[in-house]
Structure 1
Amino acid sequence: SILGLDGKPVLTVLESLFAGLSQADRLQFQDQPGLGLARQGIATEHLQPHDFVVRTMIGFRRAENALLVGAEVLPGDRVQLRIRDATIAHESLVHHTQQLARVPSTAAPAGALLFTGQNRGLDLFDIPDHDVSVIRGALRNPPIAGLFSQRELGPVRGKTREHGGSAGVALFYTRGWS
């Protein structure tokens, strides 16, 4: 749980932020509230949208002035309120697939498995096959199979964690690749 943000009670900060949202953003936030968490050690001026892992806001404990989050939150982590956003989801996927493509020794994958959150796809992007198209474009068009899922697995701070609403890909290479 989170008790404070920048030395202020978390509920006070959230109520102030919520009051400043447009009506459309309020409705969207109420439907799927998210909290972006960025690890310690990244200077604020260098933070990018892809530095944040989006986690579910589970609820509040008013008696303790606590925000309950579906993830481990450490002192010093950076926090952002997140509204489900196709542009940021697209930019994050492009960033991460381009990072994979830039690894000098990376050969073209022989294939891939894609696991995406059930709230992605047409619901989020308004076009079919968005995630598949991005991955194929960055990784030299590997054959891809996959499915929509309730939860996905992926790294956070060097450990495998559950994610929701994300895209995770497993790449396969021919034998002898190094």
Structure 2
Amino acid sequence: MKRLFDLAVSLFVLLSLWPVFLAVAVAIRLDSPGNVFYCQERVGLGGRPFLMFKFRTMVADADKMGSHQTAFGDARITPVGVFLRKTSLDELPQLLNVVTGDMSLVGPRPDVPAQRSDYTEEQWAKRTSVLPGITGLAQATKRSLATPEERLALDLEYVDRRSFWLDMKIILLTIKQVLKIKSAS
């Protein structure tokens, strides 16, 4: 049921928002040189690597200029990128990852391979026992304010409690978070 829901919602949103995709692509191209999309290796179900898609929000080759995590006021983020991150529009291309089966709408956010060392064997096995998601319990409740420890606890809690109804709650809470951030600006 989860896969069918993921596929139906992703295809509907992709078809409905194609004008937004086009507008974002044009804005990125006009804002700074480089590709419209950013593809990065992430870790998925069972620890299997996959390429995750995002709209590019940073200068070209930003991953060679610093950490895999960004900080407030990170100089690598482009002006259009600031807007895309604030509104979460940079995440829209991950719907393609959902369609291909590498991701789900809801699950722990996928890590880069270098983050493997941040976990115990048990934590890693549990965290990668489900598909990673575009949004998760940590994003729905803390957005990007969660500490690494809080994020891990919420990711593992999601794995333990996962259900269709929890996914619906997380999706609604995520929408509320994005709208709250947008209206506060």
What interval of TM-score do these two structures reach, taking the shorter chain for normalisation? Answer: under 0.3
TM-score normalised according to structure 2 size: 0.25
Rg larger in 1 or in 2? 1
TM-score normalised according to structure 1 size: 0.25
